[in-house]
Structure 1
Amino acid sequence: MSSALLIIDMQVGLFSGPDQPHDGERILANIQQLIRRARALEVSIFAVRHTGPQGSPIEAGSPLWQLLPALELDASSDSLFDKCKPNAFYGTALAEQLRTGGINELFIVGMKTQYCIDSTCRAAADLGFKPVLVADAHTCMDTPALPARAIIEHHNATLNGAFAQVVCTADIEF
């Protein structure tokens, strides 16, 4: 089974904005660790950034729209693409690129848990891929209804089984 790492919306404006992501530095460190392991094993890396409408803080080309420099992604070897909906497959060539590359297992990390992570896990399963949600490598912010920790725990439990396999960073085997 061929695998890929999918990094979702780890953007300057989302990660370093006024609302801080839950446990952000640990999540970033886990994603960096997965990137290093993927590179060492020559596992494909895909990174997507969310594009907001013109005038929004994450409009195309704005400084806050950029992927985090700390990820050390390389456009010459990694597949970098943009999306405008929570589902990373919607309106993008992601599914086609994965199929062309013979990739059927997708390790999913990034932001925001209840939006883009959830939507992408469900879509990946619907499209016939094997999504693996990395339990300690996705995050979001507190909301008026729930603290981020509860949102993350809820999604790890809800997505596990029917929509994804949920595994911690330390247990990932590409």
Structure 2
Amino acid sequence: MHALLILDLQVGLVHGPETPWRCEALLETLNTLMHRARSAGAPIFLARHIGPPGSPIEPGSPLTMIAQELELLGGEVVFEKQRPNAFILTGLAEHLRACGATGVVVTGMKTQYCVDSTCRAARDLGFDTVLVSDGHTCADTPLITAKDIIAHHNATLEGAFCRVVRAKEWSF
């Protein structure tokens, strides 16, 4: 069984100063994936990235709350992380194994940081890792557009680190 993992779809990133590429479409995709996961009895995990006390994303900051556009029903596991790799110091691998998940479907933000790091780590930890090609995003940088960052990571991660599939092609 594969668990759905949504990384950092939180207020400070969704509604922050940098506009995520195709964010509205991403939110729809993630809500659809959550619906499919629930229908199949697959667990859903949502990570919230937090920073140290005194930072804008300190624990409890409104910026770290899950974006209200995600349709949470209460059965999801929401956890905090402090590093790009969602497995470091979070117990995520143990929680996945405890609920019977042998694979993880990675989605969320930001492509070049937490999505990339988590895909690589998941494979190293023995999980069958799937990256939803239209299920992650980021913002443009001064050097590269978000569209190109996403395309690059989909191509780079596929094979060695994960399978890359479109949301409409994935079933739990």
Letter in 2 for 1:169: A
Structure 2 gap segments, 5+ residues each: none
Q: 1:168 aligns with which of 159, 162, 166?
A: 166
What are the equivalent positions in structure 2 for 1:131-150 lying under 5 Å apart? 131-150=129-148
Q: CA deviation at 1:65?
A: 0.9
User: What RMSD in Å do the two structures reach over aligned CA positions?
Assistant: 1.0
What are the equivalent positions in structure 2 for 1:118-129 lying under 5 Å apart? 118-129=116-127
Give the 3-state SS of the residue equivalent to 2:123 in structure 1. helix
Number of residue pairs aligned between Structure 1 and Structure 2: 172
Structure 1 gap segments, 5+ residues each: none
Give the aligned partner of residue 29 of structure 1.
28
Q: CA deviation at 1:59?
A: 1.5
Give the aligned partner of residue 157 of structure 2.
159
Whole-Å separation in 1 of the counterparts to 2:73 and 2:50: 19
Q: CA deviation at 1:52?
A: 1.6
Whole-Å separation in 1 of the counterparts to 2:152 and 2:64: 28
Give the aligned partner of residue 44 of structure 1.
43
TM-score by length of 2: 0.97
Letter in 2 for 1:79: V
Q: Compare 92-101 and 156-165 and name the one that shifted more.
A: 92-101
Give the 3-state SS of the residue equivalent to 1:149 in structure 2. helix
TM-score by length of 1: 0.96
Q: CA deviation at 1:96?
A: 0.5
Residues 75-132 of structure 1, C-alpha deviation per residue, up to 9 Å, x if partnerless? 4x21110000000000011000111122111111100000000000000000000110
